[in-house]
Amino acid sequence: MAEDESSSEGLLQRQTTGEDRVRMVARQLSEPRTVNWIASEADWSHEPTKRVLERLVDDGILHRDDSGTHTTYYPDYRRQAMQEAMRLRDSGHTVEELTDRLADMKTQIRDWEDEFGIESPNQLRGTLANESLDADEEDRRREIAREWEHLQRRIQIVGFAIREWDFLAPTTEPAEASS
Question: pLDDT per residue over 109-151, tens digit each?
Answer: 999 999 999 999 999 999 999 889 999 999 999 999 999 999 9
The 10 Å Cβ neighbour count of residue 179 is 3
Residues of the chain with pLDDT under 70: 1-14, 172-179
Report how far residue 107's alpha carbon sits from residue 168's, in angstroms, rounded to the nearest whole number: 26
Question: 160 with 90: CB under 8 angstroms?
Answer: no
The pairing of strands 62-65 and 33-34 is: unpaired
pTM of this prediction? 0.65
| CB neighbour list of residue 87: distance below 8 Å, 6 or more residues apart | none
Determine the pLDDT at residue 14. Answer: 58
Q: How many helices (H) and strands (E) does the chain have?
A: 8, 3
Determine the pLDDT at residue 130. Answer: 85
3-state secondary structure of 78: helix
3-state secondary structure of 75: strand
Determine the pLDDT at residue 81. Answer: 86
CA geometry: angle at 15 spanning 27 and 38, to 5°? 35
Q: Give φ, ψ of 138 to 5 degrees.
A: -60, -45
Beta-bridged to residue 62, according to DSSP, are 75
